[in-house]
Amino acid sequence: MGRRPRRGHPEDTALRLTVAAARMFEEHGYFATDSNAIARAAGYAPGTFYKHFRDKTDAFVAVYTWWVENVWAEVDASWSAPLEREDRARTAIAHVVRVHAAWPRFRRDLRHLAESDPRVQKAFTENRRAQLARLVAMAGKPRRASCFGLLLAIERTADAIAMGEASRMGISPEVLEAELVTAVRALLAP
C-alpha cells in the first residue's frame, strides 16, 4: 500500500479515490470490489471513502464520468490536431478502441449497471447526452439522430474489438476500425 498521502484538498482526495476505484473495478469488477478496498488502494483509511462518496455506486458513477472525460479529452485533441480529416478520424477512433480494450471489465459492468441500477442509468444518460452534444458540435450541423447512431456504432464496435468478438467472427479489427473512420469522416465532413 505505501505511505498514506498527506492531507490535501478534498478534490485531490476524491480524484485519488476515483482513480483507485477505477483500477479496482477494472481488476476485480464492480461486484467483487468493496469501498474499504478502494480506500486502502488509494492510501486512505476506509472512513475517508465515505467523506467523498455515499457508497460504491457513487464511486462507480464518479469513475464513469472521469472515464468519459478522459476519453473525450483525447478525442477532442485528435480532432483539433493539424491533420487531414481522415487522419484526425483515424487517430480518434484508434484512441477509443484502445481505451475500450484497456477497460473491458469496467465496460461490461457499466452495461449491466446502466440497465439495472437507477443511479448508474441516470449518470449514463447524462454522460451520453453530453457525448452526443460534443459529437453534434464536431459535426457542425444539427444531425442528432445520425450523430447518435454513430456514437452507438463507435461504442459497440470498440467493445466488440476489445472483447475479441470481431476476431471470433473472422472479421479483422483493423477493417472494423477503418469502417468506423469512414463513418466518422462521412458524418463529420464539412
Sign of torsion over alpha carbons 49, 53, 58, 61: negative
Tally of structural domains, the chain: 2
Does residue 65 surpass a pLDDT of 90?
yes
Last residue of a domain, one of 30, 53, 76: 53
**Residue among 64, 53, 55 nearest 26 (CA):** 64
Q: Higher pLDDT residue, 60 or 164?
A: 60
Q: Give the span between the Cα atoms of 104 and 114, in whole angstroms.
A: 15
pTM of the full structure: 0.87
What pLDDT does residue 6 have? 56
CA 154, CA 179: separation in Å to the nearest integer? 10
Q: What span, in angstroms and rounded, lies between the C-alpha atoms of 44 and 3?
A: 9
Rounded to the nearest integer, the mean pLDDT of the chain is 89
Residue 16, domain CATH: 1.10.10.60
Backbone angles phi, psi at 59, to 5 degrees: -65, -40
Range of the domain at 27: 1-53
Which of 172, 174, 165 has its CA nearest to residue 94?
174
Let me know whether 47 and 78 are in one domain. no
94 and 133 together in one domain? yes
Residue 41 three-state SS: helix
User: Is 10 a residue whose pLDDT tops 90?
Assistant: no
Same domain, 153 and 167: yes
Q: Are 88 and 189 in contact (CB under 8 A)?
A: no
pLDDT at 120 over 90: yes
Residues 82 and 167 occupy one common structural domain: yes
Distance CA 183, CA 190 (A): 14
65, 47: one domain: no
Q: Which of 53, 77, 93 is the last residue of a domain?
A: 53
Kindly indicate the confidence band of residue 84, based on its pLDDT and cuts at 50, 70 and 90.
confident
> Are residues 67 and 150 located together in one domain of the fold?
yes
Are 63 and 46 part of one and the same domain? no
Same domain, 23 and 93: no
Q: CATH number of the domain at 173, please.
A: 1.10.357.10
Same domain, 139 and 46: no
Same-domain pairing of 95 and 172: yes
22 with 59, same domain: the answer is no
Are the CB atoms for 143 and 135 separated by under 8 Å? no
